Amino acid sequence: MFRQRWMEKAPSTDGEGFRMRGTQVSRVEGISDAVFGLAITLIVVSLKPPESFAELTDTLQGFIGSGFCSMILFQIWNRHYLYFRRYGLEDGITRLLNGILLFVVIAYVYPLKFLFTLFFDSFRARPTPIVMHRGDQPHLFVIYGAGFATVYSLFGLMYRHALGKRRELELNELEALQTRWIIFEHFLMAGVGILQIIVAAFGPGNIAYFSWGAYFLIPVVLSIHGSKHADAVKVLKREQGVRASTPLVSRETEV
């Protein structure tokens, strides 16, 4: 299994200072990988084989949109992988949230493929086979935004659950701090999706049509969040350094 091979090569801690508590692929992760694999298959593979060269070229050109969709799913899978490596949780709440996440991923597949197919077909000389009226597009963005916001909200809830078990998991100060900031990051991402839903659903005319522009806020939001996050980590490490050196200084003073 791909996940198991990756785990065997992974270091004992990741780049953010988390100890890898999930050392074996659980049954929860096994079924999750099957669902992610099915989702990617539904995106890439057409149920109907091409019956002419023109249909074949259309199918190959459709792989561009499928590639972008697959990248989004791989990004979601990678967040899923990191969560279970960092905490190794398999309790009831984790299984419940993970089950809802998998359901949303599968439900997310066709709106995701539809949206990217429509987008890339707009650059082609041939007309798109997708039938869609201009007034339908804000509704499509609402559907996409709902899936986006739900996925990131579920990740935020999963990390919040892990933080609630910090004593059981023996999270150190750095891990607890990192977890809090990751929770904040996921809810910020969900907030962008909610913003898009509001603009698409209630914005007038062209404003609703261009609600997808809300996603251009993501690099800005993540940049500010990353800067604040890095400052918080530096402050914590500085405080830990002071606490570690204090006993030594006290002993030297006594001497």
pLDDT at 184 over 90: yes
Asked if residues 143 and 111 have their Cβ atoms less than 8 Å apart, the reply is yes
Long-range interactions of 24-28: CB distance < 8 A, separation 24+: 25/1, 26/84, 26/88, 26/90, 27/90, 28/84, 28/90, 28/94, 28/95, 28/98
Question: Rounded to a whole number, what is the distance in angstroms from the first to the last CA of the chain?
Answer: 60
* Rounded CA separation 39/69 (Å): 10
pLDDT at 3 over 90: no
Residue type (1 letter), 159? Y
Least confident range from 21-30, 69-78, 115-124, 150-159: namely 115-124
pLDDT, residue 253, reads 45
Residue, of 246 and 182, whose pLDDT is higher? 182
Task: Return the ∠ at Cα 217 (arms to 212 and 220), rounded to 5°.
Answer: 160
Tell me if residue 250 falls in helix, strand or coil: helix
Asked if residues 20 and 13 have their Cβ atoms less than 8 Å apart, the reply is yes
19 bridge partner residues? 13
Return the number of other C-beta atoms located less than 10 Å from residue 205's C-beta: 8
Confidence of residue 252 (pLDDT cuts 50, 70, 90): very low
Residue, of 172 and 120, whose pLDDT is higher? 172
Task: Return the ∠ at Cα 174 (arms to 172 and 178), rounded to 5°.
Answer: 120
Query: How does pLDDT run across 154-170, given as a tens digit for each residue?
Result: 999 999 999 999 999 99
Q: What's 203-216 look like in SS3?
A: CCHHHHHHHHHHHH
Asked if residues 217 and 154 have their Cβ atoms less than 8 Å apart, the reply is no
Give which of 145, 137, 111, 148 is closest to 210, Cα–Cα: 137
- The model scores a pTM over 0.85: no
